Structure 1
C-alpha cells in the first residue's frame, strides 16, 4: 500500500494498492510529491529571508512559520511514503 500525498476530506491518510509504479494514480502521486518538495524549497528560502530580516514583524514571522510547518508536514509525508516503498522492495538474493 502506497501512502499518497493527499488526504481524505476529513484529514485521514489515502493509500493506493497497486504493484504498478507507472499507473496513472502512481504517476500523479509522484508529480504531486515533486511539486510539494519544490514548494517546500521555496518556502524555506522565504522563511530564511524573513528570519534574516531584523525588521520583520510578528505577522511575517507567523506567516513564514505557518508555511514552513505545512511544507514540513508535506515533506515528512513524502519521506514516509518513499521510505515504506523502499522497505517493500524485494531483497536481493545473497
Structure 2
C-alpha cells in the first residue's frame, strides 16, 4: 500500500526524523509529493537492510573478521533495524484494524464508549 495514510485520513509516520531526533508525520490524504518521497525512502531503507543482512552472513562465516569489523557491522545492523522498525510501524498504522471493517464485509464494528 503505497502513499496511504491511516484509514480515516490520519497521520503517517515518515521514515526520517527531525534534526533533534523527533519523529515526523504526514497529515492528509497521502497521495502527494512527500508521500511519494517517503515511499521511496522506505523502499531504499528496506533494500539496504537486505544487502546488509547478506553482508552480515558473509562476515559471520569468515574467521578472519576482526573485532572492530564486527563492531562496525553491529552498529550498521542496529541502524538498519531502527529504520526497518519505523517502516513496520508506519505501514502497520495504515492497515485497517478489525474495528474498521464494515459489517457488510463479514466483520464487526466496535464502538468506543
TM-score by length of 2: 0.76
Number of the residue aligned with 1:49: 58
Can you list the C-alpha shifts for 1:14-63, whole angstroms capped at 9, x where unaligned?
A: 000012x3211001000000000000011111111111111111011111
Matched, 1:83 2:85: no
Identify which of 56, 72, 83 aligns with 1:63: 72
Give the C-alpha shift of residue 87 in structure 1: 3.5
Number of the residue aligned with 1:5: 15
Number of the residue aligned with 1:17: 27
Provide the rounded CA distance (Å) in 2 between the counterparts of 1:38 and 1:92.
Answer: 35
Question: Which of structure 1's runs of 4+ aligned residues deviate more than 6 A?
Answer: none
- Unpaired runs of 5+ residues, structure 1, are none
- SS of equivalent to 1:44: helix
Can you list the C-alpha shifts for 1:40-90, whole angstroms capped at 9, x where unaligned?
A: 0111111111111111110111111111111110000000000001147x5
Q: Number of matched residues? A: 93
The answer to which structure has the higher helix fraction is 1
